[in-house]
Amino acid sequence: MGTAEFELISRIAARIAARGDVALGIGDDAALLEVPPGMQLVVTADTLNAGVHFPENTRAADIGWKSLAVNLSDLAAMGAKPAWCTLSLSLPQGEQGW
């Protein structure tokens, strides 16, 4: 993990609120979530690719918005109530604007 990756994780972490049902969250290799008894967990993860799902020059914020929107749509199709989200990124080297 390079320095730029840790910097990006820190920037994202600073913008999200802590939740009592997240035992282990951002910055680790996996999340540990406290699912309430009697509840089921619905998980979705759609991958978006530059040049396929959005133009190459799309702003990072717009890509993030679209990524969340398509995954929330999947949850809605299952009748699920969103509680958490995960993020997985593949970024080109040296993109300081990200």
Q: Do 41 and 67 share a domain, yes or no? A: yes
Q: Residue 73: its pLDDT value, please?
A: 96
Q: Do 30 and 51 share a domain, yes or no? A: no
How many structural domains are present in the chain?
2
Q: Do 53 and 77 share a domain, yes or no? A: yes
Query: What pTM value is reported for the model?
Result: 0.74
The tokens describing 50, both together, are 């530059």
Classify residue 93: in a domain, yes or no: no
Q: Do 52 and 84 share a domain, yes or no? A: yes
Tens digit of each residue's pLDDT (9 = 90 or more) over 1-47:
567 788 888 888 898 888 899 988 887 788 899 999 999 999 999 88
The tokens describing 11, both together, are 């920037």
**Run of H or E residues at 5:** helix 3-14
| CA 43 to the chain's CA centroid | 12
Q: What DSSP assignment string belongs to 13-40?
A: HHTS---TTEEE-TTSSS-EE-PPTT--
77 lies in which domain range? Answer: 36-88
Q: Do 47 and 74 share a domain, yes or no? A: yes
Q: Residue 76: its pLDDT value, please?
A: 96
Helix or strand or coil: residue 50? strand
